């Protein structure tokens, strides 16, 4: 009953956000940085911001997330954080010896206007950046955009810092995975390899945030794209960027800097989006092996067999724009009805993208994006007309409990379950997992609510 004061009457708001369907930019920048091998993310701001960002990532991935901070005090808040960042870089390279320090800003350092380019140049001049080591930065003010914006900004910063124009290498493709789980990144690489395509993928958090337990703590786990790999992205024949919000700006920067043509696709979640991903790979010499055909066939079989349980079910979804567009498309393929779709990440093309995948269902769906597209609004819509399934991050559990709705945890952050970092939802096998999770929830609910005479052993 935590949200019992949510009224059913929806009033137009211009300023207030209640229970936002997003989190802050630096979290995304930190996540992208962790997808570079030997990289230490650095938060240029106060300790509190860094602590919050680290703890959110740690709770979601169940792995210790390392990051440094400029540790602003009252003095640096007034006079600027240059001295703190210079000292921090010296200490980081002396004590922690990373290959790369990826600096992102916070609300505070952006508001006072710290010039990171100038500070990093001074650090180099002063000999605080050892030979062969790298410092890059992304501006990530959290009063703009969301964690997805921060992720995209850091991906673009990786291109700006490292990608080098070069002779085109036949066959090598760049793959920008967008904000997906480490398991998804692993699955994207597996699919590309199965199809015989050589890819450079960055960022790549597989092997970093899903690293195996070996009994030995590794400050810099084995995973992550290396600096040399990102440099070579400028010599690839093309870039496939997955997710407009998460990857498009980096792909555009790569095309501008190194003349590598880009193709932007939706995240390959669900059968149709995965088909398009596979077709895109096929343009660059990929051949679909029987094993991948088999995966698609098994997904199709599962969708057909279980159609009676998914048909016509009303679904409410909230989360990140790229995830939501592909999830909606998959739900429509299952003959489900996404009726409420909400993202807190501002995105001018979001409604257009969702409507496109919803097809005729777009006429009755409610779609909202931006600051006032929050979970409060979604709850109000649900109170007015309920749904059969709610999909979103952990924060949805309050609405699900209050309204007694089956709840699928998907997106970021998931703080109260495991599995999301280990089992992919991209590709055909990922779609099977998603469908299995959805079916489990719907069938459990059917069992719970079935009268005695309709309580079936076989479903
Ligand atoms: S919103 Fe701004 S002040 Fe708050 S944690 Fe994020 S970066 Fe720090």
> Sorting pLDDT into bands at 50, 70 and 90, what band is 179?
very high
pLDDT at 121 over 90: yes
What's the mean pLDDT in 132-144?
Answer: 97
Q: Which of 52, 106, 139 to mutate to test the pocket of ligand 1 (most atoms within 8 A of CB)?
A: 106
Residue 142 Cα to ligand 1 midpoint, Å, equals 6
**Rg from Cα positions in the chain:** 23
> Sorting pLDDT into bands at 50, 70 and 90, what band is 309?
very high
Q: Are 202 and 289 in contact (CB under 8 A)?
A: no
Strands, E assignment, 314-357: 314-318, 337-343
Q: Is 52 in the pocket of ligand 1 (CB under 6 A)?
A: yes
Which residue lies with its CA nearest to atom 8 of ligand 1?
A: 49
pLDDT at 241 over 70: yes
What's the mean pLDDT in 318-337?
Answer: 98
What's the mean pLDDT in 222-232?
Answer: 97
pLDDT at res. 208: 96
User: Closest ligand 1 atom, CA of 53?
Assistant: 5
250-296: per-residue pLDDT in tens? 999 999 999 999 999 999 999 999 999 999 999 998 999 999 999 99
What's the mean pLDDT in 434-452?
Answer: 98
> Sorting pLDDT into bands at 50, 70 and 90, what band is 344?
very high
> Sorting pLDDT into bands at 50, 70 and 90, what band is 231?
very high
What's the mean pLDDT in 426-439?
Answer: 98
Residue 69 Cα to ligand 1 midpoint, Å, equals 13
> Cα(262)–Cα(280) distance, rounded to whole angstroms?
11
Residue from 210, 418, 245 nearest 321 by CA: 245
Q: Which of 41, 43, 50, 52 to mutate to test the pocket of ligand 1 (most atoms within 8 A of CB)?
A: 52
Place of tokens 């009224």: 7
Residue 24 Cα to ligand 1 midpoint, Å, equals 6
pLDDT at res. 80: 93
pLDDT at res. 3: 73
Q: Is 49 in the pocket of ligand 1 (CB under 6 A)?
A: yes
Which residue lies with its CA nearest to atom 7 of ligand 1?
A: 106
Q: Is 173 in the pocket of ligand 1 (CB under 6 A)?
A: no
Which residue lies with its CA nearest to atom 4 of ligand 1?
A: 49
pLDDT at res. 1: 61
Strands, E assignment, 303-384: 314-318, 337-343, 366-369
> Cα(3)–Cα(374) distance, rounded to whole angstroms?
14
pLDDT at res. 304: 98
pLDDT at res. 171: 80
Burial code of 189-216, b = ≥16 C-beta within 10 A, e = fewer? bebbebbebebbbbbbbbbbbbbeeeee
Q: Which of 30, 49, 114, 344 to mutate to test the pocket of ligand 1 (most atoms within 8 A of CB)?
A: 49
Stronger pLDDT, 1 or 186, i.e. the higher one: 186
What's the mean pLDDT in 163-192?
Answer: 93
Q: Is 24 in the pocket of ligand 1 (CB under 6 A)?
A: yes
| Percent of the chain surpassing pLDDT 70 | 99
pLDDT at res. 166: 87
Residue from 395, 361, 356 nearest 379 by CA: 395
* pTM reported for the whole predicted model: 0.97
What's the mean pLDDT in 327-349?
Answer: 96
pLDDT at res. 72: 96
> Cα(147)–Cα(319) distance, rounded to whole angstroms?
11
pLDDT at 2 over 70: no
Q: Which of 23, 27, 45, 413 to mutate to test the pocket of ligand 1 (most atoms within 8 A of CB)?
A: 45
Lowest-confidence range among 170-174, 357-361, 419-423? 170-174
Q: Is 106 in the pocket of ligand 1 (CB under 6 A)?
A: yes
pLDDT at 212 over 70: yes
What's the mean pLDDT in 235-240?
Answer: 96
406-427: per-residue pLDDT in tens? 999 999 999 999 999 999 999 9
pLDDT at res. 15: 87
pLDDT at res. 46: 96
User: Closest ligand 1 atom, CA of 108?
Assistant: 3
Residue 59 Cα to ligand 1 midpoint, Å, equals 18
């Amino acid at each position: 009953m935590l949200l019992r004061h949510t009224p059913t009457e929806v009033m137009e708001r211009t300023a207030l956000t209640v229970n936002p369907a997003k989190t802050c930019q630096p979290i995304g920048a930190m996540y992208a940085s962790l997808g570079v091998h030997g990289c230490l993310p650095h938060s240029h701001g106060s300790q509190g911001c860094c602590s919050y960002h680290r703890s959110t990532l740690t709770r979601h991935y169940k792995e210790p997330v390392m990051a440094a901070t400029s540790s602003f005090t009252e003095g640096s808040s007034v006079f600027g954080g240059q001295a703190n960042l210079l000292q921090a870089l010296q200490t980081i390279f002396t004590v922690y010896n990373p290959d790369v320090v990826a600096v992102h800003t916070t609300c505070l350092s952006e508001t006072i206007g710290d010039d990171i380019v100038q500070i990093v140049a001074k650090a180099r001049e002063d000999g605080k950046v050892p030979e062969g080591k790298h410092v890059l930065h992304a501006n990530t003010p959290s009063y703009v955009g969301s964690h997805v914006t921060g992720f995209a900004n850091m991906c673009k910063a990786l291109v700006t810092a490292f990608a080098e124009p070069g002779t085109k290498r036949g066959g090598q493709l760049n793959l920008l995975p967008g904000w997906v789980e480490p398991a998804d990144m692993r699955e994207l690489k597996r699919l590309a390899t199965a199809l015989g395509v050589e890819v450079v993928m960055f960022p790549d958090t597989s092997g970093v945030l899903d690293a195996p337990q070996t009994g030995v703590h590794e400050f810099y786990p084995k995973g992550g794209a290396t600096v040399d790999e990102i440099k070579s992205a400028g010599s690839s024949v093309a870039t496939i960027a997955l997710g407009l919000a998460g990857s498009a700006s980096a792909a555009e920067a790569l095309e501008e800097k190194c003349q590598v043509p880009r193709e932007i696709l939706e995240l390959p979640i669900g059968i149709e989006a995965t088909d398009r991903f596979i077709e895109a790979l096929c343009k660059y010499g990929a051949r679909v092996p029987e094993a991948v055909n088999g995966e698609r066939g098994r997904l199709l079989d599962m969708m057909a067999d279980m159609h009676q349980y998914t048909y016509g079910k009303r679904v409410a979804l909230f989360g990140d724009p790229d995830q939501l567009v592909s999830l909606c498309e998959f739900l429509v393929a299952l003959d489900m009805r996404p009726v409420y779709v909400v993202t807190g990440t501002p995105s001018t093309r979001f409604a257009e993208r969702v409507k496109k995948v919803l097809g005729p269902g777009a006429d009755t769906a409610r779609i909202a994006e931006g600051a006032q597209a929050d979970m409060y609004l979604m709850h109000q819509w649900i109170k007015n007309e309920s749904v059969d399934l709610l999909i979103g991050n952990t924060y949805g559990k309050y609405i699900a409990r209050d309204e007694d709705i089956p709840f699928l945890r998907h997106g970021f952050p998931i703080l109260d379950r495991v599995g999301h970092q280990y089992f992919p939802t991209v590709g055909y096998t990922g779609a099977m997992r998603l469908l299995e999770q959805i079916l489990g929830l719907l069938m459990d609910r059917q069992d719970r609510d079935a009268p005695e005479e309709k309580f079936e052993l076989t479903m």
